[in-house]
Each structure stands twice: as structure tokens, then as C-alpha cells.
Amino acid sequence: MDSDSVSGPISDPCRDQVGGTIGGPDGRAIDGTVEACFGGAGGGSADDGAVGAAAARPHDAVLDGPRADPDEAIDDAAAEDPADGAIDGDESCGPRGGAVSALVNAAARGDAAAWEALVERFSPLVWSVIRAHRLSESDVEDVWQITWFRLTANLQKIKDPERVGSWLASTARHEALRALRWSRRVTPVDDVDTVSPWVNHHSPEQAMLESERAAAEADRLRRLGEAFETLSDRCRRLLRLLMATPPPSYQEISEALGMPVGSIGPTRARCLDCLRRAMAGEPPRHRRRAR
């Protein structure tokens, strides 16, 4: 145990779990095993196992999600005016024009239907961000829940509610990267890797049956999957993002992948060209310049 590194002595915090705190300030008896919660930081001194002030000093580059600024509180009336919801330079494909900020503001005021509409609108985006990272099943669920839970706590203070999609993409990416980094010691994974839709529980044939599609279409779908698997991880990540319905804006993709907006278009073109060539059975061309 690396006990010197934080803020001085941390006496093995696993060892003095319940026993050390039974006589805690609130005097509550603790029966010992599961989810025992109590006041005081542990039976001993204030420094014992407490959070070190120096180590926990606020750090200003931690969250890369959009930061809320209390000075830029949302003006409900203004934000609901579609004219005020215009986005500068957002290459959006989805329904916009103030509709999203109106939903965010309504949900912030307690409108559950507006929340449900937000979930419906943006869950494919959040799902695509998560699926663009190879996470364990439990991490998938954690990242998913954290992303939405955080939104509930931040509805009032999101700086640009029209861009809540970017906020969600950024939050999901941040949590996915954190999970990847810290799950590694439990389940080693290669790199930030993409879960392709084709390695899911369904086979294309089953899925097509379920959706009552023709066998020819299932075949096409399978070939698409085989071609997708030949792509670089960078391409698979970007294309997985693009598969969200409705298609994400470039701003959202940028937040989701940490990719500059300017490189999304050329990368998309290159990756789709690679995919098309792979489907046609052409060998991948290396060092090909994107047009």
C-alpha cells in the first residue's frame, strides 16, 4: 500500500473498516458487513484516512465537458424563442433551431415529458459514443448511467443548452476513457477499441428475420459487417459514431472522439471509401491521400 503518497499516513483503510468506527461520533451500532454508513472519518484522528486537502486541491483541467458559468444563467424566456437557438457553425443534421434548448429548459423546470424527449433524442448518440469504446459490460452500464445522472444534476447550468448533445458526448467519452483506464488492471484490453455492431449477440440473419427483411438484404448486411471489420480502429470509431440516429453533428463527433472538427470530414470520406473498397473486394490502399 502506497501510504505516503497522498497526505501523510493513511492507516490501511481496508483493515480498519467497521471495527475502527463502531464507536463513531453518532454512537450508532453497526452490524458490520454491508454498506455500513456512519458519521466521522473513522474512529481515530481527523487526519486518519481523511481526504488530504493538498492532494484534493481543485484542479481546473479535470472535466472536459462544457463548464457551466453561473454568470451565464439561462434565460428561460429567451432560450425558448427559436430565433435564439441558432447555432454558429454547427453542422447539424438533426432537428434543431431552439427545440433542444427548449427541452433542456423545460426538463430543468421539472417537465418529465421533456426529459423523456431528451433521452429519446440523444440516447442513440450516447450509445454510439459508448460503443465506440471497448468497455466491459458493467462499465458500459456505469458510463451510460453516469452520463444521464450527470445531466439531471446539470440541466440548470449547462452553458449552451442547444448543444446538450455535445455535452452528453463529451461526458460519455470522458467517463468511457476513465473506465478504460481504470478497468485495465482487472480486464486487460488492447487499446481504445471499437465494438462493432456486428459482434453483438444477434447474427445478421436472426436480426433480419426479426425485422422481416429479405435474405438478400441479410447477405448485404453481413458483407458490410465483414468490410467494417477490416477498417482501422480510427475509422471504426468514427463510423460507429456516425451510425447514430439522427446523425450526430460534427461538434458532437468532435466531443465524442476528441477529434478536431476540421478533420472529421476528410476522415469520414477516407473511411467510407475504404469501406466501399473492402466491400468490393479490393485490397486496402495504404498511404492514399483523401481527396
Partner 1 sequence: MPDDRSGLEEELRHAAGILDPVPERLLRQAVSAYAWHTVDAEPAELTFDSHAPEQAVLVRGPGAPRLLTFESATVTVEVEITECGDTRRLTGRITPPRPAGIEVRRPDRRLHVEADELGRFSCDGLPAGPLGLRCSTAEQTVVTDWVAI
CA distance 107 to 198: 35
Is residue 17 at the binding interface for partner 1, with CB under 8 A as the rule? yes
Helix intervals (H) in 132-260: 137-154, 164-183, 204-210, 215-229, 233-242, 250-257
- Comparing CB distances to partner 1, the nearer of 86 and 143 is 143
- Comparing CB distances to partner 1, the nearer of 82 and 282 is 282
- Comparing CB distances to partner 1, the nearer of 82 and 258 is 258
Is residue 225 at the binding interface for partner 1, with CB under 8 A as the rule? yes
In one letter, which amino acid is 165? Answer: G
Residues of 102-139 as b/e, b for ≥16 C-beta within 10 angstroms? Answer: bbbbbbbeeeeebbebbeebbbebbbbbbbbbbbeeeb
Is residue 23 at the binding interface for partner 1, with CB under 8 A as the rule? no
Query: Which one of 77-85, 97-105, 235-243, 280-288 is the stretch in contact with partner 1 (CB under 8 A)?
Result: 235-243
Give the nearest distance from C-beta 61 to partner 1 in angstroms: 7
Taking CA atoms, 191 is separated from 31, 64, 174, 233, in Å, by 43, 21, 15, 9
Is residue 128 at the binding interface for partner 1, with CB under 8 A as the rule? yes
Asked if 273 contacts 286 with a C-beta cutoff of 8 angstroms, the reply is no
Chain positions 179 to 208 lying near partner 1, rule: CB under 8 A, are 179-182, 185, 195, 197-198, 200, 202, 204, 207-208
Window 69-108: contact mask with partner 1 (x via CB under 8 A): -x------------------------------------xx
CA distance 140 to 129: 10
Chain positions 160 to 179 lying near partner 1, rule: CB under 8 A, are 174-175, 177-179
Chain positions 255 to 284 lying near partner 1, rule: CB under 8 A, are 268-269, 272-273, 275-276
Asked if 218 contacts 204 with a C-beta cutoff of 8 angstroms, the reply is yes
